Every structure is written in structure tokens, then in C-alpha cells.
Amino acid sequence: MSPAVLAWLDYSESDQRHAREIVAMFSQRESRDELGIGRIRDALSDTLFPGTSFLLTRARYLLFVPWLFREGARRGHGGQKLSAWVDWHERQLIGALRAGGDREGLIGRYVGAAVRILPSTIYWNTLRRFGILRREGTEGQVAGLRQLAGPQDEATEFLEQSDAVWAPSIPAPPDDFFDLACCDFSLTHDEATWLAERIVAAVPDSLLEFLVSRGKGHSDGTAYAWEDPEAVGAEGPVREALDEAQRFSVAMHGAALLYNLLLAERAEELGLSRYEGHRDRYRSRLDEWQEDFQAINAGAWDLNGLWALVAAQGRPAALPTRSFVSEWVDLARNSGGRVADDGEARELIRNRERRQKRGQARLINDRLMGQWGGASGSGRLNFRWPVVRRILNEIVDGRENGAASA
């Protein structure tokens, strides 16, 4: 049998980004969307942190990419020649960053110049959403446009000219950057300040804008935005969106744990000894989850607020998905703290998997059951917080380091 592939025929950047994220998520068993709630997860993520993606790694890529496009255009390249020039230099950048010593979040860290997905592809949508890239289109289409703004006189030197593909005010790269011998991910004060101003202007009334405006660091010990002391200070619609995300994350974590408990029980029935102990482990985690579920005041949760937030992103949840979530929340509320043994809850999860996967549902497909890794989508939704936290901290560090050395 030929290996399965994921392909797309149009050139929508948002569609391509979504497809890349799906591919990446298949390699992270804790993040898989086993119960079909990804549309809600993504809508909440985009509400809290517009323009971001869990594929983002380091903040300075938001400058590396436009620097390369602008320099290639300055050297007289355009269209396919510009695309090829940028492609080659993005691959050389990997070696320069390796030489710089900080390899955390380095795209191409392990395979080097042979990396298949380059930073420009990963960051393209974010660059446009933050107003750094000012034109629509794919990388190839944008490469065919004039990259640099028209001539400026002294009176308009600092104005954002309308004919520029890239924001003209982008800070200049270091003098030796295009040697691509050695560079790093550390933002300068000017770079960090400029990125912060871009984000604040581009995504108003979001948690991302609120946190960038606060300019404070964020502890690596916070796994979720609602645990972050700075985020807790948000008010109004921003706080309401954060609360909805927390409630949804906690609630659906229980559904994911029950799904894995059912898989563990099925594994025992099939005599798959390598999964011994998984059943007890998931029962214990569900007992702990019940306490978390009660802590979010689930009894007073009106899901209409959730559906309104999701619909506001232009992609309302499908009726079967809304029904599944609503039924799960009601069953969890009324389970008396024993959702693991609730027959209706168990049947709801079984039916949801069958509806989503049909013949590929593990609970009815023993061959696929034998390939279970022991945890399928069992992690709690974090709405990209680890990625956003790093980007925020790099901006804070850049601004503070510059201020300290001034």
C-alpha cells in the first residue's frame, strides 16, 4: 500500500498553515485531535493570540525573513530568482545560527540545509497578521512584487509608504548579517521595541496585545496562560475569552482522559501486556480531573459564550461538535464525581470516535488498537501558550538588555 500523503491544490496561506499544523500534530501524540474539537481549539487560540501558530519557535525569525527578501531585492533579484535567492540564504542561515551557539528553536537544527519547511513558510501568515508583510499572496506571488518602497524625501523618511511590500520601518540588520557566518536569536533593544509596537498595533483587544503592552516576563513554570500572573490581570472581553479557554481546556481534558481509559481497557481485553497499568493510571488521572472540573465552577458555565467566541473567528463549530461538547459537559456535571464509570459518558465518547474516524476508530479496529502509543490526545489544551510565552520573553529580554546597556 502506498503511504498516505496530505496535499492541497489551492494557494491559500491559511489553508497551507493549517495543513502544516495538522502534519506536525500527528507527531505529537499528546496533542492529537482525537475527538474532533480542533476547530474550537484553533478559534480560541486565535482569539487569545491572533497571528500565532504552534509552529513558531523564535521571535527573531520575524526579522530574518523580511531582511532576506529586502536584501535580495536590493541586489536586483525578483520573481523566481528572488525566491531562489531567499531559499538558499535561509538554508545558509541555519549554519550561521548553529555557529552562534543558541540552537533552541532553530529550524533545521538536526537536518541542516536539507530542512523541508523553511522559516519563511512557517512565519508567513504571522508576518502578514502583524503588518510586517503588507501584501496578500504566497511567498512566490509576493516575490514577484517590488519589495522596496519608492524613493523617499526627507519629509517622508519615516512614513509607512503604501507601495512597500514590507513595513519600511523594519530595523536594519546587523552590518555583518548577510555574511551568514555567525548570528543568534537575541533581539536588540530596537528590534524588540519595534516588534512590540507592531504586535500592539496589529492585534488590539487580544490577550497577546495586553501582555506585550505590559512588558513583563513570564515564568517557564506556567503551562497555561490562565496561570500567568500578568494574564490574570486582564479585564473585560480579554479576560472573558481567557476564562472561556480555561473552562473548555479543563472540561475537554476529562473527555480525552476517558477516551484513553477506554483504550486502556480495550488493550487489556486484547491481551496487550505492554499497556499494563494504563487503566489504573487513567482512572487516577480522571479522579484528579474531577477536582479541576469542579474548580472552574462548571455548574454555572453558560456555553453560549463559548459558541459566540468561536463564531466570531468566522468558523462556527459544527452542530455535531457543539452537541458533543454540550452533552459531555452536562454528563460531567451530573456524574457525581465518577465520570469514569458513567455509562452514558462512555457511550458518548465511543460514538464520537466512531463518528470522527469511522472504520479507523481504535475502539472497534483491533489492528489500530495494537498500534496505540499509550496516550492519544491526552494532554490538556494550552492554546499555544508555550510558544507565545517564549516569543513574549524574547521581546522583554531584548528591550531590557538594551535599556541596561544604554
Give the 3-state DSSP-derived string for the chain, with helices as H, strands as E and coil as C: CCCCCCCCCCCCHHHHHHHHHHHHHHCCHHHCCCCCCHHHHHHHHHHHCCCCCCCCCCCCHHHHHHHHHHHHHHCCCCHHHHHHHHHHHHHHHHHHHHHHCCCCCCCCCCCHHHCCCCHHHHHHHHHHHCCCECCCCCHHHHHCCCCCCCCCCHHHCCCCCCCCCECCCCCCCCCCHHHCCCCCCCCCHHHHHHHHHHHHHHCCCCHHHHHHHHCCCCCCCCCCHHHCHHHHCCCHHHHHHHHHHHHHHHHHHHHHHHHHHHHHHHHHHCCCHHHCCHHHHHHHHHHHHHHHHHHCCHHHCCCHHHHHHHHHCCCCCCHHHHHHHHHHHHHHHCCCCCHHHCHHHHHHHHHHHHHHHHHHCCCCCHHHHCCCCCCCCCCCCCCCHHHHHHHHHHHHHHHHHHHHHC
Q: Are residues 92 and 39 in the same domain?
A: no
Q: Are residues 71 and 107 in the same domain?
A: yes
Residue 328 maps to a domain: yes
pLDDT of residue 336: 86
Q: Are residues 243 and 364 in the same domain?
A: yes
Q: Are residues 301 and 358 in the same domain?
A: yes
Q: Sort 65 into a burial class: Cβ within 10 Å, 0-12 / 13-18 / 19+.
A: buried
pLDDT of residue 161: 55
Residue 125 maps to a domain: yes
Task: Collect the ranges in the chain with pLDDT lower than 50.
Answer: 1-13, 15-30, 152-160, 404-406
For 91-148, write each residue's pLDDT tens digit. Answer: 999 999 999 999 999 999 999 999 999 999 999 999 999 999 999 999 999 988 876 6
| Domain closes at, from 337, 353, 369 | 369
Residue 319 maps to a domain: yes
Q: Are residues 243 and 313 in the same domain?
A: yes
Q: Are residues 246 and 139 in the same domain?
A: no
Q: Are residues 299 and 330 in the same domain?
A: yes
pLDDT of residue 3: 42
pLDDT of residue 216: 95
pLDDT of residue 346: 98
Q: Are residues 35 and 90 in the same domain?
A: no
Residue 135 maps to a domain: yes
Q: Are residues 320 and 343 in the same domain?
A: yes
Residue 90 maps to a domain: yes
Residue 266 maps to a domain: yes
Residue 209 maps to a domain: no
Tell me how many domains the chain contains. 2
Q: Are residues 45 and 64 in the same domain?
A: no
Q: Are residues 262 and 178 in the same domain?
A: no
Q: Are residues 70 and 116 in the same domain?
A: yes
Domain span including residue 276:
29-51+235-369
Residue 332 maps to a domain: yes
Tell me the pTM.
0.88
